[in-house]
Amino acid sequence: MASSRRHSFFRFDSRLSRRLLRYMVAACLIWALIAAILLAYFGYRGGLDYVQTRLEDIKASAPPSFAYAIEQGDHDQINIMLQAIERLPEITYAEIRPGVSGEGEIYLHGDKSLPHTTHLEIPLNPGHPEGPQLSIAITYSHMLSSLIGYLLLGLFVVVLGILVVGIIMNFIFHQTVTRHLEDVVGYLWDMDVVTLNHRLGIDRPRNHNPDEIDVLVDAVNTMRSHLAEAIEETTLTNRVLEENELSQAKLLSNLPGMVYRCLNNENWDMSFLSDGCKALTGYEAEALIIGGENAYAKLIHPEDREKVWMEVQAAIASKRAFRMDYRIVCADGSTRWVWEQGEAIFDEHGEALVLEGFVSDFTSRRQVEESLRESEGTLRALTEFMSTLLDTIPSPVFYKDNEGRFLGCNEIFARDVLGLPQDQIIGKRLMDLPFGLPSEDGQQYHQADLKLIANPGSQQFEMELVCADGVKRLYYYSRATFQAEKGPADGIIGIMLDLTERKELEEQLVRSQKMEVIGQLAGGIAHDFNNLLQVIRNNVELAMVENLNPAQAKEDLHDAIAAVDRASSLTRQLLTYSRKQALDVREIHLDQHLRGMITMLRRIIREDIQLD
């Protein structure tokens, strides 16, 4: 057995060596890639610089020589210089072309059909750029070919060197590390209770400063001593667990219910039941455990068995705890409500091994819940009654919570005032509804709601409101806070009375009364006006008598003018009263004006009113 285990470790050592070699190869490839990029970059830049330098030399030295040879007509010299340029590396062809006038000969060395990278145009006479030109075609293909060859050779040398270094390092690693790891692993594989008394030792000199191998050996020896201590503690713990099981059994017997462990099958076959089984079901625990005379599934009420099975299986499928209440039939035939909480214990494959949980008596609480449901039913009924009652009120009614959100309203408020369905109103504030209300007005109404809630009481006011049909109506608002208990208000309830028709009737009544008074006033004024006209007529006729004393005629005309002034004053008073003439606001002597209006006022007021 030991030899086979050691052979397994050799396979482990081989795998470790191969893994290290793969790491070294990966490192070589990465370094080779980096080296290739660097070589390519610097080689390319060097080649470009070399070509650029040669071109700059040509550009600086060639124009004067070619210009002189062209001027002397020395064709041989021109061809020799072009041939020298064309033979330079990376030059495809070199050509002398005439200027703009097209006069002169063309000289060409090289092949113009070959591909090239760029052109260089050099004027042979810088003072006359339209004269003859030296055209040079440049290609980088030779430079790139040479660069690739040098690059491949350099990469091969780098990779070869790294691989050799890696193999040497792998051998050194095996001699200094893995062979000592073999001793450690062999010790661990052969470890058992007997060998725990022997320390691990390896054939290796101890360094003054401990390295990783020394630390590993120390850790294994420390683990060995801890395992020995743990075995002793486990023996002691088993004794304590036995005592705890006895205490746990005593504790479970005192719980107000029963603790169980069962199989996940249709019978719910029990493998463990606490002593609370007797008080809960009326059966002894032995009667319901596997092999007993009864199965727990038969205790579940027939109407609840499928529900219990489905809920437990759903909880197992989602790997969660289950909680439910159902009925059981006790040993004496009575029916009892129970509440169960449990969960499944799964194996390493996710299969449910057993179910563990707790079942307690739920009958009293169930009765309380039924009573609450009956109370709640009486409350869905009361709410419906209130809703029906509100809809019978012929005025808009609404109520809100303590944050100004609508809790409800009657149909008239929803249809005639807001023009919205009730389900779109409930839960929203007035300012949040698509009602066409200006935002500043909505915010103002909301603040008024919050102010009323903060200061519980009632509130009455009149306000005009543009309703859903686009008609402006005058409403009388009566609002008050309500609360369920002492403390802050729970909300607001309000009713709106439409005063539009009443307001119009009141205005019609006022106009009618005013016309009646004006009629009375007109009759009196007509009488006074007739008297004044009579005075004016009499005084004018007297002033027209022949041989009348001028002084007497002047006095008669003065009396006629005074009567005219009184008539004019009477007319102004009438216009002012009927508000057909703009008021002239100024300081007056009130007593003088009142004395002038006494006669008119006495005709307006009733006989039972005394004027002083």
pLDDT value for 598: 72
pLDDT band at residue 315, thresholds of 50, 70 and 90?
Answer: very high
How many residues are recorded in the chain?
A: 612
Average pLDDT taken over every residue of the chain: 77
Nearest to 166 by CA among 30, 21, 19: 21
SS3 472: strand
pLDDT of residue 246: 59
How far lies 100's CA from each of 72, 128, 133, 269, in Å?
A: 20, 11, 10, 112
pLDDT classification of 437: cutoffs 50, 70, 90? confident
Helix (H/G/I), strand (E/B), else coil: 606: coil
- Cα dihedral sign, 445-450-452-453: positive
Residue 584 pLDDT: 66
Confidence of residue 312 (pLDDT cuts 50, 70, 90): very high
Distance CA 322, CA 308 (A): 10
Q: Side-chain half-sphere of 140: how many Cα atoms within 13 Å? A: 16
* Bigger pLDDT: 397 vs 384: 397
User: Contact, 493 vs 453, CB < 8 A?
Assistant: no
Residue 257 has a pLDDT of: 84
Are the beta carbons of 97 and 90 closer than 8 angstroms?
no
Residue of higher predicted confidence among 240 and 322: 322
Residue % of the chain over a pLDDT of 70 = 73
Asked if residue 289 has pLDDT above 70, the reply is yes
**Contact between 135 and 62 (Cβ < 8 Å):** no
pLDDT of residue 575: 67
pLDDT for the residue 11: 46
Average pLDDT over residues 144-150: 65
Render pLDDT for 373-394 as a digit per residue (tens, 0 to 9): 766 665 576 667 777 888 888 8
Say yes or no to pLDDT of 5 above 50: no
Residue 561 has pLDDT above 70, yes or no: yes
Q: What is the pLDDT of residue 493?
A: 92
- What are the tens digits of pLDDT across the range 245-283? 655 656 555 667 888 999 999 999 999 888 888 989 999
Q: Which residues have a Cβ under 8 Å from the Cβ of 300 and sit 6 or more positions away?
A: 308, 326, 327, 328, 329
pLDDT tops 50 at residue 9: no
For 587, half-sphere exposure in the C-beta direction (CA atoms, 13 angstrom radius) is: 0
Q: Side-chain half-sphere of 258: how many Cα atoms within 13 Å?
A: 22
Helix or strand holding residue 457 (H, E): none
Q: How far is CA 389 from CA 185, 394, 414, 482, 490, in A?
A: 89, 11, 15, 18, 21
Going by pLDDT thresholds of 50, 70 and 90, the confidence category of residue 410 is very high
Average pLDDT over residues 217-242: 72
The larger pLDDT score, comparing residue 272 to residue 3, is at 272
Q: In the predicted model, is pLDDT for residue 146 greater than 70?
A: no
In this structure, the dihedral spanned by the alpha carbons of residues 41, 47, 52 and 55, taken in order and rounded to 10 degrees, is: -160
Q: What is the per-residue pLDDT for 576?
A: 64
Dig out the tokens for 268 from the structure.
């719910």
pLDDT for 7: 45
Tens-digit pLDDT profile for residues 84-126: 777 777 787 888 877 666 555 677 777 777 777 677 777 877 7
In this prediction, residue 255 carries a pLDDT of 66
Say what the pTM is.
Answer: 0.40
> How far apart are the C-alpha atoms of 119 and 91, rounded to whole Å?
10
pLDDT per residue as tens digits for the range 44-56: 666 667 777 777 7
In whole angstroms, how far apart are CA 398 and each of 255, 408, 430, 480, 562? 54, 6, 11, 11, 68
Mean pLDDT of 281-308: 91
Best-predicted range by mean pLDDT (425-429, 509-513, 522-526):
425-429
For the segment 489-513, the average pLDDT, to the nearest whole number, is 86
pLDDT in tens, 316-348: 999 999 999 999 999 999 999 999 999 999 988
pLDDT tens-digit readout, 173-211: 766 777 667 777 776 776 665 566 666 767 666 666 666
Q: How confident is the model at residue 302 (pLDDT cuts 50, 70, 90)?
A: very high
pLDDT at 4: 47
**Res. 600: pLDDT tops 50:** yes
Section 26-42 average pLDDT: 72
